[in-house]
Amino acid sequence: PKTIYLKDYTPFGFTVESVHLTFDLAPRATRVIAKIEFAPNPERTDKTFFLHGEELKLKWAKIDGTEVSPVVTDDGLRCDVPDGPFTWECEVEISPETNTALEGLYMSNGMYCTQCEAEGFRKITYYPDRPDVMSTFTVRIEGDEPVKLSNGNPTGSGDGWAEWHDPWPKPAYLFALVAGNLVNHPDSFTTMSGKDVELNIWVRPGDEHKCAFGMEALKKSMRWDEEVYGREYDLDIFNIVAVDDFNMGAMENKGLNVFNSSCVLASPETSTDDNFERIEAIIAHEYFHNWTGNRITCRDWFQLCLKEGLTVFRDAQFTADMRGEPVKRIHDVIDLRARQFPEDQGPLSHPVRPESFQEINNFYTATVYEKGAEVIGMLKSLVGDEAYYKALDLYFDRQDGQACTIEDWLKVFEDVTGRDLSQFKLWYSQSGTPRVSVADDWSDGTYTLTFKQHTPPTPGQEVKDPKVIPIAVGLLNPNGDEIVPTRMLEMTEAEQSFTFDGLASKPTPSILRGFSAPVVLERVVSREEQAFLLAHDTDPFNRWEANRTLTRNCLVNMITDDAEPDDAWLTGLEKVVRDDTLDPDYRQLMLSGPTQSELAQVLFEQGVTPDPDKIWDASERLRQHIANKWQGWLKDLADQMVVDAPYSPDAEQTGKRALSGALLSLISRLDGGAAAQERFDTADNMTLQLSALTHLIRAGRGDAALEAFYTQWRNDRLVMDKWFGIQVGMADPGVAVDVATALSQHEDFDWKNPNRFRAVMGGLAMNHAGFHRKDGAGYAFLADWLIRLDDKNPQTTARMCSVFQTWKRYDANRQALIREQLERIKAKPKLSRDTDEMVTRILG
């Protein structure tokens, strides 16, 4: 496979002035007629006229009305063209019904839909399918489907046809078409300048009752983007469509967002509080792309973080405003450590702006998205809020309508602040997670913190330079009062000291408050000091972090030294969990310990080979110990968390249900699941029902409840995904593979549907000890399925391969078993480029 390099970028030799597309829809023989106005690009270095195209049957092609015979290859066509502007026309035939890769035009439950990011448009017609080629699009759709949608505004419709025109120039990856038997949930929005916008969420008949929440989230997002960033919507209509077969979460096509139905459909009976929160965030994310992604797009796919990092950062700000800042931050850091840190510290490590790829779909990663957002958060901390919003105003002004680079992005910050950001730029080019160690010194009223930074080598990058690291620090006195409020230290050297003068006594530092940089803080802190921070830190993030460290250390000692659980820590934790001045969602987060996979990483870093069975055992023992120790008050507190009002997915109710679920998990260890059974029997919303079911499975009495759940929900595909996932995820490690195997033979296991496939395979991978079963059965089971899926859906197959990325942490026996499976996948005849690249990189 060919490797593409950032350094090789050259502009396309032609500009596209306009695109007219006509679709004559038919499941196996859709005709696509394209009429495209090209002109020579004044900035060109190469005159070659090459149009991308894959899996297309070319019927004819014309230039300025005269038929031509281009040279057609597997990946596109080449043709001689006139020196000046010219009109290109062609007709191709495609087969949406047999398109199982879910890229280009495909069918899902009888409905036509498209997915063009990153390079799917080339499966629709011949085109310069690259983000720096932008044009207006006019689209005519012909077919019997009652609803026919495309980008932009509707310009006409009649019997069997509909036309759309998108006045905003866009790259082909933002093209979309949807046609089918759909019903809409309509609404409207008046923008800040008084323009009325028609809003619709389009769904399959029967799903209408699951649209109201998404619509409210959309309107909140539109208002928020006006109020916080001054960004107004720019078309007469905004459509969202829910699709069942979808490779990722959602897609920001201009004026026609397409969503995985799991990321937009919601009702209290069928969706959990977590689902509601995620849906709100994804709707916001896709909507915010209208400016950060669509109006200002990427010059090339290496710049993906330009739109994704910024849009994730914006959606995190939105969620923090809607639901509370500290809890959102803690959730994001948990997620970053669970997904991005392993990526950045393993064989798949790559810079936020990668410098090469074989298959761009493999770079829609936690590093590009979540670390990309962290980088923007650091930039904002360094320049301050006022300069940040000024720079953003300048960015929207200066770059509107263009396809841009990270250089363009940083330049607006340099111009607004006068700062030189060349060192900061290393965050975009250097991969790996920096490790920051700290030493302190106290003398004559002066407290000194000395930091050292070091980034271990990553694939292709042996040597790293020091980065700019914003380190938020506060100081507490021995009474627990904050004597120095949060100060942003700006570390730029490999080793650097910062002093705090005029202090009466040696303070306790609270370092990296709010997780001010995506680094690993290596600081040996005594148990007493962590307990002090847990009791007194005024920074909610670091207070939570102190507890997380204490939990982790307790578990590590239990695993490595067979130690007893740390009761002194639990006494401190009890105070926080029972402190009713704190929000329930925050108290629940205090109860959530590190995942077993995170513990494996911690052990590995300490030079101990992680044993998944021992990790599982210690985690279970600790939870049982906590339940025993707190049995006197668990039920009382759980009773206080009962919500006595109609269901609402708001932050307040969500927090109460989250804490009550965590308490029920402990109670189930004491009563054998009796309370969970009662909750399961009486639950009137999915949050309570699913959490009760989880505890029943863990208590070893889930069978009847699982059957009842199946009977109740067998016709709801999104709830059935939960049913599949929970059984594998919650299974005892010894039987997880057997449960997954049985479920993969279930009549409702539709392996070509990415949601269902991920429910079972992702559920297994989440079951740490179950997946890493000593005999390698988990690895072999997953590899069998990846080999099978690769022919049908390379994108989903390749993404799932990343569960093997941490393989070098484990013992030699497990490593050999994983290697065997990776090599088996690699040897599969006609392995896709997507999977081949992933497996090759993981093998190293």
Instruction: Pick the closest to residue 113 from 51, 52, 155, 175 (CA basis).
Output: 175
199 binds, among Zn ion, ligand HT7, none (CB under 5 to 8 A by kind): none
Decide: is 248 part of the binding site for ligand HT7 (CB under 6 A): yes
Query: HEC states along 91-113?
Result: EEEECHHHCCCCCEEEEECCEEE
Residue 507 is classified by DSSP as P
Decide: is 314 part of the binding site for ligand HT7 (CB under 6 A): no
The residue within the footprint of ligand HT7, chosen from 117, 129, 343, 834 (CB under 6 A), is: 117
The residue within the footprint of ligand HT7, chosen from 364, 424, 451, 630 (CB under 6 A), is: 364
Residues 403-432 that bind ligand HT7 (CB under 6 A): none
Decide: is 395 part of the binding site for ligand HT7 (CB under 6 A): no
Name the segment binding ligand HT7 (CB under 6 A); options: 285-293, 375-383, 385-393, 563-571. 285-293
Do 830 and 824 form a contact (C-beta atoms < 8 A)?
Answer: no
Query: Using only C-alpha atoms, what is the Rg of the chain?
Result: 27
Of 364 and 785, which CB lies nearer to ligand HT7 in the complex structure? Answer: 364
Decide: is 115 part of the binding site for ligand HT7 (CB under 6 A): yes
Decide: is 371 part of the binding site for ligand HT7 (CB under 6 A): no
- With 0-12 CB in 10 A as exposed, 13-18 as middle and 19+ as buried, what is 499? exposed
In the complex, minimum distance from the CB of residue 802 to ligand HT7, in angstroms, rounded to a whole number = 15
Q: Report the DSSP pairing between strands 196-203 and 237-243.
A: parallel
Residues 270-329 that bind Zn ion (CB under 5 A): 308, 311
Query: HEC states along 451-491?
Result: EEEECCCECCECCCCCCCEEEEEEEECCCCCEEEEEEEEEE
What are the CA-CA distances from residue 57 to residues 32, 54, 103, 125 (Å)? 10, 9, 17, 9
Q: Which two tokens stand for residue 830?
A: 């006609």
Of 364 and 630, which CB lies nearer to ligand HT7 in the complex structure? Answer: 364
Decide: is 805 part of the binding site for ligand HT7 (CB under 6 A): no
DSSP code string of 557-582: HHHHH-PPP-HHHHHHHHHHHT-TTS
Q: Which two tokens stand for residue 12?
A: 């396309």
Name the segment binding ligand HT7 (CB under 6 A); options: 244-252, 320-328, 381-389, 797-805. 244-252
In the complex, minimum distance from the CB of residue 311 to Zn ion, in angstroms, rounded to a whole number = 5
Which region, left, alpha or beta, applies to residue 136 given φ > 0 means left and ψ of -120 to 50 means alpha? Answer: beta
Q: Which two tokens stand for residue 48?
A: 């070659």
Length of the chain: 844
Q: Is the dihedral of CA 627, 631, 633, 639 positive or negative?
A: positive
Beta bridge partners of 298: 404
Phi, psi of 635 (to 5 degrees): -70, -40
In the complex, minimum distance from the CB of residue 428 to Zn ion, in angstroms, rounded to a whole number = 17
Of 247 and 270, which CB lies nearer to ligand HT7 in the complex structure? Answer: 247
Of 600 and 789, which CB lies nearer to ligand HT7 in the complex structure? Answer: 789
Q: Which residues lie below 8 Å from residue 182, measured CB to CB, with a gap of 6+? A: 111, 146, 147, 202, 203, 204, 205, 241
> Which residue is catalytic, options 91, 119, 252, 286?
286
Residues 678 and 583: their CA atoms lie apart, in Å, by: 26
Q: Report the DSSP pairing between strands 30-40 and 86-94.
A: antiparallel
Of 289 and 722, which CB lies nearer to ligand HT7 in the complex structure? Answer: 289
286 is catalytic: yes
301 binds, among Zn ion, ligand HT7, none (CB under 5 to 8 A by kind): none
In the complex, minimum distance from the CB of residue 101 to ligand HT7, in angstroms, rounded to a whole number = 10
Of 364 and 395, which CB lies nearer to ligand HT7 in the complex structure? Answer: 364
Decide: is 360 part of the binding site for ligand HT7 (CB under 6 A): no
Of 369 and 388, which CB lies nearer to ligand HT7 in the complex structure? Answer: 369
Q: Is the dihedral of CA 536, 538, 540, 544 positive or negative?
A: negative
In the complex, minimum distance from the CB of residue 353 to Zn ion, in angstroms, rounded to a whole number = 16
In the complex, minimum distance from the CB of residue 285 to ligand HT7, in angstroms, rounded to a whole number = 6
In the complex, minimum distance from the CB of residue 141 to ligand HT7, in angstroms, rounded to a whole number = 21
- What is the b/e burial string over 213-225, where b = at least 16 CB atoms within 10 angstroms of the residue's CB? bbbebbbbbbebb
Decide: is 118 part of the binding site for ligand HT7 (CB under 6 A): yes
The residue within the footprint of ligand HT7, chosen from 203, 222, 240, 251 (CB under 6 A), is: 251
Decide: is 280 part of the binding site for ligand HT7 (CB under 6 A): no
Residues 424 and 258: their CA atoms lie apart, in Å, by: 35
Do 722 and 756 form a contact (C-beta atoms < 8 A)?
Answer: no
**Residues binding ligand HT7: number (CB under 6 A):** 13
In the complex, minimum distance from the CB of residue 289 to ligand HT7, in angstroms, rounded to a whole number = 6
170 binds, among ligand HT7, Zn ion, none (CB under 5 to 8 A by kind): none
Q: What torsion, rounded to 10 degrees, do the Cα atoms 353, 233, 125, 177 define?
A: 120
115 binds, among ligand HT7, Zn ion, none (CB under 5 to 8 A by kind): ligand HT7
Vertex 652 angle, CA 648 and 654, to 5°: 60
In the complex, minimum distance from the CB of residue 318 to Zn ion, in angstroms, rounded to a whole number = 13
Decide: is 583 part of the binding site for ligand HT7 (CB under 6 A): no
The residue within the footprint of ligand HT7, chosen from 245, 308, 539, 790 (CB under 6 A), is: 308
Decide: is 286 part of the binding site for ligand HT7 (CB under 6 A): yes
Do 349 and 455 form a contact (C-beta atoms < 8 A)?
Answer: no
The residue within the footprint of ligand HT7, chosen from 135, 221, 247, 290 (CB under 6 A), is: 247
List the x/- string, 132-151, binding to Zn ion by CB under 5 A. Answer: --------------------
332 binds, among ligand HT7, Zn ion, none (CB under 5 to 8 A by kind): none
In the complex, minimum distance from the CB of residue 364 to ligand HT7, in angstroms, rounded to a whole number = 5
Of 287 and 586, which CB lies nearer to ligand HT7 in the complex structure? Answer: 287
**Residues binding Zn ion (CB under 5 A):** 308, 311
**Residues binding ligand HT7 (CB under 6 A):** 115, 117-118, 247-248, 250-252, 285-286, 289, 308, 364
Which residues are catalytic, by number?
Answer: 286
